[in-house]
Amino acid sequence: MVALMLFILLAIITVFGWYSVQRGVHEHHHDMEVLRDIENVFHEFNTRYQNVKFTTMEFMIEPDKKHHQAYLDSLDNLIRTFEQFNRINHGNIDHGFLEQLDQLGKNIEQCRTELDQAVKVRLDAEKTFPFTTIMLALNTDNIEILSLINNILLSASREDLPYETRTRLSDIRYTWVRMMAEFRLLVSVRFGIFTGDWTAAFRDRVNNIKMYFSRLDQLLEELKQEKDRDRLSLEIEADIASLNRQIEDAVQYYRYAISMLNAPDWRQDIVLLGEKIRPAFEHLDSSFNQLHIKIEDIRTASMMQLTSLARQLSDSLWFLFAVGSLLILLGYIIFSRTILMPISQVAQALEDEAGGRKASIKTRSSAQEIRQLTEAFDKMRRQVQSRQQRLVNILDNAAEAIITIDSQGNIETFNAAAEQLFGYRAEEVLGKSVRILIPEENLENYRLLLTGQLVSDDSKSNGESARAFEIDILTKSARRVPVSIKISKTLIDGSTLYTALVVDISERLAREKERQEHIAEMAHAGRLSIMGEMAAGIAHELNQPLAAMSLYLQASLRRCDPEADTCKDIIKAVNSSIEQVERASEIIRKMRSFAHRETFHLEQADLNNIIRKSVDLVLISQQNISPRPELELEPSSLVVNVDVLQIEQVMINLIRNAFDAMQDIAEEQRSLLIKSEIDDKGYVRVSVYDAGEGVSRENVDRIFDTYFTTKADGLGMGLSICRSIIEEHNGVLWYREREEGGSQFCFILPLAGSDNDRPPPDRQETG
């Protein structure tokens, strides 16, 4: 706003200055035009005036008609020229000039009157003293002499006329012309045309003329004396002789005319003629000169005006320069305060923001656009900050350690999870090489990791991404921690930035180890169960024959006479056999009791968890199976009092059997569902459904028998062990055919806290 007002002020001043200078220049220009017109007329007037003087003199010398007319015409012309002065638009011309002009006009009139009187006197005088006649005769002589000399010079060829003769003839012509001019002057002096002492002037002219005469005499004499005279042609000789004669005659006549002019009885009025003509011209001369001076004055004044105008212009320019500079300075200050400063602050703030420093804008500009710019920047800054904060929060709250590394391998960011994992605080590692976080022997791997040469088919890669690897890292306390590292590469401003996502996998590895151990344990427990079952079977099978053997041996003993000598050894042997049979029975009994599951660790557990864990174990141990078992578990926990390991074994057995049964059918037709619920009698019921071939009718009653199997590599122990485990937990395990095809194996177990001692319900009843 202020800038606009200043600009308007400057514009007004400029326009005003420009106008006044322009007006001054215009005035001066007009004056100069007037002056030019005046001077033109003045020069014209001067010429005319000189002409009047000339014609007057000519008339005085030869007052014939022709000269009289010329005199009258020149006067008319003078007056006409004078009138041109009045036709000029004098404009601002000084009044003194006009007065002078007036005076000049009057003087012309007066001059005319006086000259007219003089002319009259001269005409009168001519009547009594016809000097014109003498002048005419002299003129004729002059013409003849000059034309004669010209004739000689022109007609004679170079060879005819010697150089000296030619030179002398030219000299004669020159001297004659000078003499003629002098004589005309003499006449005009006599008739008073010239100012000053006429008698002295008259005498001087006469002396000059006499000098020319004697010079002519001398030249003519020389001409006669020339030694090359003989070379001249007769014609030229004659011409020269006639020239000699004519000059002598003319000189005589001139002398007569001069004596006439000098005669003492010269008319008085003629003598006084000069007294009339001179003042007439003198007045006109003076007013003419005055006018000339006035014109010079006007020119000077105009130049002065121009000078002052120039000074004024220069002053105005200085003023304009000063005001303009001031305005520019002011404008610059305003511009820099309202535009440059805010812009540079915005730029500085942007730079700060980019450099991660806290940025703020202090100056608020009044220019709307700049205000908008600063506000927009502020808004952007807040958004960037909030985004940055969010990013920092995300980074800090991320479960994974996130480290960014520049192309030189130096750490740029180090989030909270990274601090926790590595034991360093961010300030300790920022800007340092990432090598401090890697054990010596892994540095090569790390290098390969960054250069992308460590590829995903590495045995340790977790398969999720081409750049996730499992290696050890080094914590601040020099502890090695196994981690999974995923590195992504970004190109920012032409330099590479690596982002490493580091996940501590020590727990996962520990869990995996535990699980492996568990599987091994399960296998061991399975083997033990099978052994126990086998031992029980063997014991059962051997007990009968051993008991029979014992009976037979005792009967044999009774039939022997203990006194008879022949029997003594038999009795001894039979007794030994009985002893051995009893020993065998004892061994079998001991074997049975050893194989019997004495390691029965009852504990309260959620059956749902047991199911989940069993499914996991099957999936881990048999990786290529599909589909994943579908779970439909009772939402509430199903707490049972069981040997967890054994129930897991049951579940694993049932799941494996189900997968075995579906081995030969197409993958998309396979399905495996595991359900847990509380039945209407308050038992926990677990059902395993499969879509396999099911159990054929003739085998239905045998599948739970020990050693019954339909599989080529089967032992036929699984189901029988399962049943005995479930029954030992006061539960029931049974099979049921599914209408849609496939098998359904179910077991029930009492809930913990319920009456565990009650006998298991009838299988059929439950089914």
Residue closer to ligand ADP, measured from CB, 450 or 719:
719
Residue closer to ligand ADP, measured from CB, 314 or 663:
663
Residue closer to ligand ADP, measured from CB, 427 or 713:
713
**What minimum distance in Å lies between the beta carbon of 657 and ligand ADP?**
4
**Among residues 645, 639, 640, which one has the least CA distance to residue 601?**
645
**What minimum distance in Å lies between the beta carbon of 622 and ligand ADP?**
14
Distance CA(651)–CA(189), nearest Å, equals: 169
Helix (H, G, I), strand (E, B) or coil at 736: strand
Specify the residue for token string 């003293």: 129
Distance CA(75)–CA(612), nearest Å, equals: 148
The vertex-293 CA angle with 288 and 295, nearest 5°, equals 95
**Among residues 724, 733, 686, which one has the least CA distance to residue 706?**
724
Amino acid, res. 131:
F
Characterise 431 by phi-psi region: left (phi > 0), alpha (psi -120 to 50), beta (else): left
**What minimum distance in Å lies between the beta carbon of 674 and ligand ADP?**
13
Tokens of 744: 């359904």
**What minimum distance in Å lies between the beta carbon of 623 and ligand ADP?**
20
Residue closer to ligand ADP, measured from CB, 468 or 691:
691
Cis amide prior to 761 (ω within 30 degrees): no
Contact positions vs ligand ADP (CB under 6 A): 657-658, 661, 690, 692, 694-695, 703, 708-711, 714-720, 743
Residue 101 · residue 288 · CB < 8 Å: no
Residue 655 · residue 673 · CB < 8 Å: no
**What minimum distance in Å lies between the beta carbon of 743 and ligand ADP?**
4
Residue closer to ligand ADP, measured from CB, 251 or 717:
717
Residue closer to ligand ADP, measured from CB, 17 or 532:
532
What's the maximum distance between 2 C-alpha atoms anywhere in the chain? 246
Residue closer to ligand ADP, measured from CB, 63 or 742:
742
Distance CA(11)–CA(634), nearest Å, equals: 93
**What minimum distance in Å lies between the beta carbon of 637 and ligand ADP?**
27
Q: Tell me the CB-side half-sphere exposure of residue 373, using CA atoms within 13 A.
A: 20
Q: Tell me the CB-side half-sphere exposure of residue 187, using CA atoms within 13 A.
A: 22
Residue 584 · residue 531 · CB < 8 Å: no
Sign of CA dihedral 115, 116, 120, 121: negative
**What minimum distance in Å lies between the beta carbon of 634 and ligand ADP?**
22
> Please, where are the H alpha helices in 662-717?
none
Residue closer to ligand ADP, measured from CB, 695 or 746:
695
**What minimum distance in Å lies between the beta carbon of 609 and ligand ADP?**
23
The residue of the chain with the least Cβ separation from ligand ADP equals 718
**What minimum distance in Å lies between the beta carbon of 597 and ligand ADP?**
18
**What minimum distance in Å lies between the beta carbon of 702 and ligand ADP?**
8
Q: Using alpha carbons only, how large is the chain's radius of gyration in Å?
A: 78
Residue closer to ligand ADP, measured from CB, 720 or 724:
720
Amino acid, res. 397:
N
Residue closer to ligand ADP, measured from CB, 274 or 718:
718
Residue closer to ligand ADP, measured from CB, 6 or 715:
715
Distance CA(706)–CA(534), nearest Å, equals: 9
Residue 197: Cβ within 10 Å count: 10
Residue 526 · residue 646 · CB < 8 Å: no
Residue closer to ligand ADP, measured from CB, 192 or 742:
742
Q: How far is CA 696 from CA 327, 661, 710, 743, in A?
A: 111, 12, 10, 10
**What minimum distance in Å lies between the beta carbon of 736 and ligand ADP?**
11
**What minimum distance in Å lies between the beta carbon of 750 and ligand ADP?**
24
